[in-house]
Amino acid sequence: MEALLKVVYELYTDYVLKNPFYEMEIPIQFELFDINLTQAIQKDRVALLG
pLDDT of residue 22: 86
Of 46, 30, 21, the closest CA to residue 12 belongs to 30
Q: How far is CA 2 from the centre of its chain?
A: 14
pLDDT of residue 50: 67
Q: Which residues of the chain have pLDDT under 70?
A: 50
pLDDT of residue 1: 82
The neighbour count for residue 11, using CB atoms within 10 Å, is 19
